[in-house]
Amino acid sequence: MSSASRIPPGPRGLALVQAIRFLRRDPLNAMLSFAREYGDLVHLGEGPLHIYMVNHPDLVRDLLVGHAARLRKPRSTTRPVIDFLGSGLLVSEGALWRSERHTMQPVFHHRVIDAYGQEMVACIDAVLAGWHAGDVHDIDEEMLKMTLAMVTRTLFRANVQDAEEMVVRAVKVLQKVSYQQGQLGLPIPRWLPLPGNRQKWHYIDELDVLVARIIQSGRAAGHESGNMIAMLAAGIDQPDSVMTERLLRDEVMTVLLAGHESTANGLTWMWYLLTQHPEVQEQLRAEAEAVLEGRPPTVADFKRLTYAENVVKEALRLYPPAWALPREPLEDIALGDYTLKQGSMVIAAPYVIHRDPRFYPQPDAFIPERFDTDQDTSPFAYIPFGAGPRFCVGTAFAQMAMRMVLVRVQQGFRLTLVPGERVGLDPLLTLRPTNGVHIQMQRWN
């Protein structure tokens, strides 16, 4: 048998039935356990069903970079999301995606993002003004509100404070229902009376009204640099541009939701980890004191706030909000010694790669210092923002936002987990906490 026609290792027979059940019930632990048992490329499948899991950085590179043009995001995962993101950058494909990426990329350039520092601090301080010593907050909700303000006030020049409760509820419903609908693998029309479907459409309608308002105010704010809405709207009806009123709506909805939710999500897990490591909070505060002497951080300060940068990196390693990157080959593709079938589901999971002891000694431990030294591991062993041409367009924004929030919050507060709080992982479209994360705010003595 030629090596190219070999099937990668994986469970067969009864073990396969059990493995698929395990994957549905507890995908994170299932994928970790398959990687340990079967190695760098795992195959689950029989008959027409084929799932491959890619567990080595070199294979991740070959897949997401080398084969990028021969892949798309699987319909089963994008279909429920397309209901609200339309043809936005996150879910579009082919030539349309290429033009959108080309149009959107300048909005997220470092130079543009760097100018948002002061505005970001103002958004953080507005939330902190509502925190008092001894308060208990669900940090997930607080972070969602904070990053919603950060995204809308910088990129859109809009103030949506009156809608923040609605957006927080909408995010929770859309995550849960879209993930469940993706698992069914079938198109679910709006009228179908399935659990959650009506609620999902209720929130899509509410978000549509909000996005229309955001677009109106973004357009009114004019063409100053960094105003994403004005930049995109300028392309409407231009001969060399794909931009339309509808696509403008889709991009704003995409950046509104993808931008604030994944950043909030990363921050929530970071705070959870910090409550488990008060000594890291002490060290963060000491670094902030030494560098800032009480004043708010600016973009220029981050060169010297290196411990904070490591804490953000390490939190995104252990809890990558985008825990799995699913792909579907448009034709049979060769990966390592194997052929992956056209139409199958191929998953590169940051959650699994980031916890591989070959690349991260003591993989489950929170050790920010591990990023201190120049590592000789492959860049594809660290993929919280994805890899290849579809890597996260908002990477610079997210990194700056997370560092700003970390440093600014720690200047004022230390955070402790409420006694008895049980924090669970809910791997939906992103890695959500099952029931929030309830945290008590304390002033430093």
Q: Which of 55, 178, 227, 263 binds ligand HEM (CB under 6 A)?
A: 263
HEC string for 379-420: HHHCCCCCCHHHCCCCHHHHHHHHHHHHHHHHHHEEEEECCC
Hey, which residues between 292 and 351 contact ligand HEM (CB under 6 A)? 321-322, 325
Amino acid at 353: I
CA distance 117 to 379: 27
The closest alpha carbon to 31, from 427, 372, 422, 343, belongs to 427
Q: Which of 207, 258, 335, 400 binds ligand HEM (CB under 6 A)?
A: 258
Residues with Cβ within 8 Å of residue 112, at least 6 apart in sequence: 106, 225, 226
Q: Which of 144, 247, 398, 431 binds ligand HEM (CB under 6 A)?
A: 398
Nearest distance from residue 105's CB to ligand HEM, in Å?
A: 9
Quick one: 262 or 275, whose CB is closer to ligand HEM? 262
Nearest distance from residue 303's CB to ligand HEM, in Å?
A: 21
Nearest distance from residue 255's CB to ligand HEM, in Å?
A: 5
Instruction: Report if residue 431 touches ligand HEM, rule: CB under 6 A.
Output: no
Amino acid at 408: R
Instruction: Report if residue 80 touches ligand HEM, rule: CB under 6 A.
Output: no
CB half-sphere exposure, 39, CA atoms < 13 A: 9
Task: Output the residue with the shortest Cβ distance to ligand HEM.
Answer: 394
Q: Which of 179, 203, 366, 397 binds ligand HEM (CB under 6 A)?
A: 397
- State the residue for tokens 């593709």: 333
Q: Which of 28, 60, 89, 229 binds ligand HEM (CB under 6 A)?
A: 89
Q: Which of 10, 218, 329, 386 binds ligand HEM (CB under 6 A)?
A: 386
Quick one: 395 or 416, whose CB is closer to ligand HEM? 395
Instruction: Report if residue 394 touches ligand HEM, rule: CB under 6 A.
Output: yes
Helix axis angle, 395-412 relative to 139-155, nearest 10°? 130
Nearest distance from residue 388's CB to ligand HEM, in Å?
A: 7
CA distance 70 to 144: 35
- The alpha-helical segments, DSSP class H, found in 185-305 are 197-220, 228-233, 245-254, 260-275, 278-292
Compute the chain's Rg from CA coordinates: 22
CA distance 53 to 23: 12
- Size of the residue set binding ligand HEM (CB under 6 A): 24
Q: Which stretch binds ligand HEM (CB under 6 A): 17-25, 118-126, 193-201, 252-260?
A: 252-260
Instruction: Report if residue 101 touches ligand HEM, rule: CB under 6 A.
Output: yes
**Binding footprint of ligand HEM on the chain (CB under 6 A):** 89-90, 101, 151, 254-255, 258-259, 262-263, 266, 321-322, 325, 384-386, 390-394, 397-398
